């Protein structure tokens, strides 16, 4: 029997596959701070750095997008580090630190940083236990057909991600690695 969290992410994978048919091939998530399949710099880590969310930007917003959501998930540990939603459709980037709950870099927008698996609001960078090897971190940007998601703060991160994935028009991911 699979744990509930694993079942939810298997369900999300099925949703992803069905959404791939409609994903515009140009819709891409990128970063000036981290690059695909390259190690995350310490400045973005929780344990050894400043715990700042990295700069993220995207290209070719899919038609009918009204907002975005971003999720950072540790695939190795099955652990959510960041969920932000209600990112306006007319934005095409998030600056360094935008995911930090105590920093208001986007005061004119309704960016909502939700609770992660640490129990904190906003971004908490990589901090894998020492000796557990290299962890795979996936940043996924979801294009959504609604302007805002009304979410109760007490909902578990896995259920929030499931809701976001179900609503998604398209998604794009950036993968990076970190270990200590």
Q: Where are the domains of the chain?
A: 4-178
* pLDDT at residue 24 in the model: 45
Taking each helix axis as running N to C, give the angle between helix 157-167 and helix 4-20, from 0 to 180 degrees, rounded to the nearest 10. Answer: 20
Match domain 4-178 to its CATH number in 3.30.70.20, 2.60.120.10, 1.10.1740.10, 3.90.280.10. Answer: 3.90.280.10
Report the pLDDT value the prediction gives residue 47, as an integer from 0 to 100. Answer: 84
Q: What is the enclosing helix (H) or strand (E) of 93?
A: strand 93-94
Rounded to two decimals, what is the model's pTM? 0.82
Q: Is 109 exposed, middle or buried (0-12, 13-18, 19+ CB in 10 A)?
A: middle
Structure confidence at residue 59 (pLDDT): 95
Sheet architecture: strand order including 170-178: 112-113, 79-88, 67-74, 135-144, 170-178
């Amino acid at each position: 029997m699979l744990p509930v969290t694993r079942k939810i992410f298997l369900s999300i994978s099925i949703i992803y596959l069905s959404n791939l048919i409609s994903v515009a091939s140009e819709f891409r998530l990128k970063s000036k701070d981290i690059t695909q399949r390259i190690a995350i710099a310490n400045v973005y880590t929780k344990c050894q750095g400043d715990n700042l969310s990295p700069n993220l930007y995207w290209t070719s917003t899919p038609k009918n997008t009204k907002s975005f959501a971003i999720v950072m998930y540790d695939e190795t540990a099955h652990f959510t580090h960041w969920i932000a939603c209600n990112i306006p459709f007319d934005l095409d980037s998030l600056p360094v630190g935008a995911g930090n709950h105590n920093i208001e870099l986007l005061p004119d927008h309704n960016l909502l940083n939700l609770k992660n698996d640490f129990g904190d609001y906003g971004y908490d960078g990589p901090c894998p236990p020492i000796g557990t090897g290299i962890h795979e971190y996936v940043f996924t940007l979801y294009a959504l057909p609604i302007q805002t998601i009304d979410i109760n703060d007490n909902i578990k991160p896995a259920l929030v991600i499931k809701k976001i994935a179900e609503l998604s028009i398209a998604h794009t991911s950036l993968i990076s690695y970190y270990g200590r």
